[in-house]
Chain A
Amino acid sequence: MADTARDPPPQHTDFHELEDGEDLFPEPTATLESEPASLPAEDISTNSNGPKQDSLFDDDPEDLFAEATEEVSLDSPERDVLLSDGPSPAITPITPPTSVLTPRIGLHDDMFTHSSFDEIEEEEGGDSFDIHISVSDPEKVGDGMNAYMAYKVTTKTSISLFKSHEFSVKRRFSDFLGLHSKLASKYLHIGYIVPPAPEKSIVGMTKVKVGKEDQSSNEFVEKRRSALERYLMRTVKLPVLLKDPDVLQFLESSELPRAVSTQALSSAGLLRMVNKAAEAVNKMTIKMNESDAWFEEKQQHFENLDVQLRKLHASMESLVLHRKELSVNTAQFAKSAAMLGNSEDHTALSRALSQLAEVEEKIDQLHQDQANADFYLFSELLGDYVRLITAVKGVFDHRMKTWQKWQDTQMLLQKKREAEAKLQFNNKPDKLQQAKDEIKELEGKVEQGEREFEQISKTIRKEVSRFEKERVKDFKTIIIKYLESLVQTQQQLIKYWDAFLPEAKAIS
């Protein structure tokens, strides 16, 4: 085994015998873990979280924050990209961690000033968004390859736009795709970040159609149901979309005309088209004089975000997979331990082994639940955002195209003016009039082009601000939920092992 290229394994290690329970991986400095571990274990027992928690935090918050400080100041990435709002004067810094974060100078300041500007401008889409949509009760309609899943879409709202406060309709997947394609064709090119619809899946749907009532097809339906719900909620969060007649019709009317050619217009297909357009645009080497540093910076920001989110998504999917494997392996071990317990002839040990088997079985269930949390909370959200960012990039590309169109019109006007000058010089009165008319028309078009460009720029600024705010809120919510799930899992583990301990001690 000649792997001379690799770092040589530890050449010389004095063997240190560990007391059981001692840290196998000693940290050089005082760490987060060592703080709680130094607290007497009895403090954090199965008592209620309330009072004990306070004493815990009174003792050590500084230390914990000190650790946070240490970690945070070591690097200098964009601090608030993921979690914090673009800090504006409006948000009062409360906690030590926030104040410790040193904002980057220069470009970052631009971000601050712009976002505070955006916040003042933003009146629509306020925080109290009184509409809630749920997608539920998936029902198989029909048989064979023509079968489809019908979902119940229920809207609860107090917004006056709608005819009533609570109502339901039945929709199928292609209806969602149809809605998205309409909205995309209306709003994407003027700068609105239209949320992409969930992906089509031939394999998944075929299983359902064929009637396989197994675990994987149930999971597929649930995954899709959840994705459709998130899609609708995101869509109505855009004020301009909420008011759109297509959206209203989708949510309210009992009958919906079948969406045609959704093949061509599926969100994935649409995004592919957008991407192709983006590539084409780049190929044309648009040397757009970006007078606005904001756009340049934001584009870079979204590029970076795209890369990181994809990576995170991939890691998360790996985590889900491994957790599912852990669940399977734990279940198998539980069975094996039970058999071992049966085989054991020492009575007390036999019982303890059987109990161990039971504990592991329960833990297996815990792992499964945690895997679901990993997945539905985190992994799917990341997938949504990867697709959303593609839509954002598309919107930026549309702005470029708009600019290009304006420039082209301007160049055409220039040519026509030159031609007019020539005609004037050559004294051709009838052609001259035609030229003057064309110039007039073109001047109008140029003005319109400039207006469109300014409009889309303005819309994008607002949209990006809204999007970032949503994103930060989304992630914060999800991380908190995820945390809760982790905490629950840990507390359950404590319960299970606490119950097992006396059994182990009873072996004599």
Chain B
Amino acid sequence: LSTPQKHQRGNTMRSVSVDLNHDASLLIDIPDALCERDKVKFTVHTKTTLSSFQKPDFSVPRQHEDFIWLHDTLVETEDYAGLIIPPAPPKPDFESPREKMHKLGEGEATMTKEEYTKMKQELEAEYLAVFKKTVQVHEVFLQRLSSHPNLSKDRNFQIFLEYDQDLTVRRKNAKEMFGGFFKNMVKSADEVLISGIKEVDDFFEQEKTFLLDYYSKIKDSTAKAEKMTRSHKNIADDYIHISATLNSLSADDTTILFVSVQKVEGRVASDQELKLTELLRYYMRDIQAAKDLLYRRARALVDYENSNKALDKARLKSKDIPQAEEHQQQCLQKFDKLSESGKKELTSFKGRRVVAFRKNLIEMAELEIKHAKVSSTIQLTHFYTNEKWTL
């Protein structure tokens, strides 16, 4: 593909999340990655002034599974129950371009060499785009952690960043310890539980209503945006075939026109994907993470209510009252802690979301305008040229 390009540090304007990686005490990025078949190896680079780290500047290789291990470990840490754990990055998915590449190979005989080369180029670009996206989303995950006052101090996070050996062994051990129990629980019953509890706090009542509704809406929007992007890509592919055929009929400006039309369509598709679809996709996952927080709080409330019942029972029976009291206190404390922390998290989450939407919507509109202008300029030029011919 293209020659290896230098990573630009500093102005890390992540497309979906802002205000990340500005704190110089802990700067994380993924400057490069390697793609071998299905496996992506990320180079995680850390620059830090914190004394808790052994070195000020270092890199480690990590796989996607390592990120998942880190995420799950954080989710299952009791202390973080009141925090929105940044959503785990999705698995790198090269299925779509790979399938297309396969189909292209099968259809090679039916197209001209030029057409084939063009299609192949487009597919390679698509492959590259998927690649860049996955690096981006893994990077954002780490940067969310490093910018969080609590999570950035997590011991496992440090191990992730620093441990220069393979994490596979650790990952296996973790799985045995937790067994993914909590995660499974969260997946299954959260909606029912969240909507079922009697909410005394107005803030959480509003948040609950909002998040549940918003989640289903944004999930739908994400799916529809994906379909739109796919259609744009299909159109761009059609123009490749059209311009190739026109080219074999007569190579003149017309071909160039269609080639450029195709390029613009392709860019529109990928920009829309980055600014709109990716945005929606990311916040869909983030809202799920917020819902998880609500769930954990709901669970804590249930536990507290149960402990009350147990205490009443103990009092009735005049048996084990101190234990029951202690347990009830613990549950109350836990619940209060979750509520307090949860409120802070959800408020900052909203701010974050609004800022990200604003940034991406502006950028998307600006890009659309830019593409339309470029496109119409080319077309007008061609039109003008054509007019000259007929004189």
Residues of A within 8 A of B (CB): 1, 3, 5-21, 24-26, 32-33, 36-37, 41, 44, 49, 53, 56-57, 64, 67-68, 71-72, 74-75, 77-84, 94-95, 97-98, 101, 305, 308, 311-312, 315-316, 318-319, 322-323, 325-326, 329-330, 332-333, 336-337, 339-340, 342-346, 348-349, 352-353, 356, 476, 479-480, 483-484, 486-487, 490-491, 493-494, 497-498, 500-501, 504-505, 507-508
Contacts and interface: CB of A to CB of B under 8 A. Distances in A.
B276 to A, nearest CB: 9
A364 to B, nearest CB: 10
A346 B354 contact: yes
A217 B37 CA distance: 50
A507 B102 CA distance: 44
Contacts of A15: 5, 7, 30-33, 132, 135
A329 B227 contact: yes
B263 A77 contact: no
Contacts of B2: 13, 26
Contact of A3 (B31, B102, B210, B377): B102
Contacts of A346: 350, 353-354
B251 interface: yes
Interface of B: 1-2, 4-8, 11-13, 15, 30-38, 94, 98, 101-102, 105, 120, 124-125, 127-129, 131-132, 135, 206, 210, 213-214, 217-218, 220-221, 224-225, 227-228, 230-232, 234-235, 238-239, 241-242, 245-257, 260-261, 263-264, 266-267, 270-271, 275, 350, 353-354, 357-358, 361-363, 365-370, 372-386, 388-391
Contacts of A333: 221, 224-225, 227-228
Nearest to A323: B235
Contacts of B353: 346
Contact of A487 (B263, B365, B383): B383
A79 B252 contact: yes
Contacts of B383: 480, 483-484, 487
A14 B32 CA distance: 5
A56 B1 contact: no
Contacts of A36: 373-374, 377-378
- Looking at chain A's contact residues, the main secondary structure is helix
B221 A337 contact: yes
A497 B367 CA distance: 9
A73 to B, nearest CB: 9
A17 B224 CA distance: 27
Nearest to A311: B245
A483 B217 contact: no
A493 B372 contact: yes
A329 B252 contact: no
B45 to A, nearest CB: 11
A13 B245 contact: no
B376 A491 contact: yes
Contacts of B246: 82, 312
Given A11-B36, A44-B376, A97-B253, 13 more contacts: A7-B120, A9-B37, A16-B7, A33-B260, A33-B378, A41-B369, A68-B256, A75-B251, A326-B228, A333-B224, A353-B357, A494-B369, A497-B368
A24 B267 contact: yes
B224 to A, nearest CB: 4
A352 B357 CA distance: 10
B4 A13 contact: yes
Contact of B372 (A37, A336, A497): A497
Nearest to A45: B373
Given A10-B1, A340-B218, A498 B235 contact: no
Contacts of B35: 9-13
A487 B381 contact: no
B365 A344 contact: no
B256 A32 contact: yes
10 contacts: A14-B31, A16-B6, A83-B250, A94-B391, A315-B241, A349-B357, A349-B358, A483-B379, A491-B376, A504-B362
A16 B6 CA distance: 6
Contacts of A14: 4-7, 31-32
B389 to A, nearest CB: 6
Given A16-B7, A21-B366, A483-B257, A504 B358 contact: yes
B204 to A, nearest CB: 14
B208 to A, nearest CB: 12
* Interface-central residue, A12, A25, A67, by most chain B CB under 10 Å: A25
Contacts of B214: 340, 343-344
A36 B378 CA distance: 8
Nearest to B268: A493
B253 A68 contact: yes
Nearest to A370: B235
* Interface-central residue, B2, B246, B372, B382, by most chain A CB under 10 Å: B372
Nearest to B357: A349
B267 A25 contact: yes
* Interface-central residue, A15, A36, A74, by most chain B CB under 10 Å: A15
B235 A326 contact: yes
Contacts of B127: 9-10
* Interface-central residue, B235, B270, B370, by most chain A CB under 10 Å: B235
Contacts of B260: 32-33
B242 A319 contact: yes
B107 to A, nearest CB: 13
Contacts of A26: 2
Contacts of B386: 476, 479-480, 483
A342 B231 CA distance: 26
Contact of B254 (A9, A24, A319, A479): A479
Contacts of B354: 346, 348-349, 507
A490 B376 contact: yes
Contact of A315 (B131, B238, B373): B238
B373 A308 contact: no
A97 B261 contact: no
Nearest to A496: B368
Nearest to A6: B101
B189 to A, nearest CB: 23
Contacts of A17: 7-8, 12
B4 A53 contact: no
B366 A315 contact: no
Contacts of B266: 25
Given A68-B256, A71-B256, A343-B210, A9 B365 contact: no
A15 B29 CA distance: 11
A353 B368 CA distance: 16
Nearest to B218: A340
Contacts of B132: 15, 18
A486 B214 CA distance: 37
A77 B214 CA distance: 57
Contacts of A340: 214, 217-218, 220-221
A365 B4 CA distance: 42
A501 B253 contact: no
A80 B250 contact: yes
A33 B132 CA distance: 23
A332 B227 CA distance: 9
B375 A507 contact: no
Given A36-B373, A329-B228, A72 B357 contact: no
B125 A79 contact: no
Contacts of B241: 311, 315, 318
A404 to B, nearest CB: 32
Contact of B368 (A20, A308, A493): A493
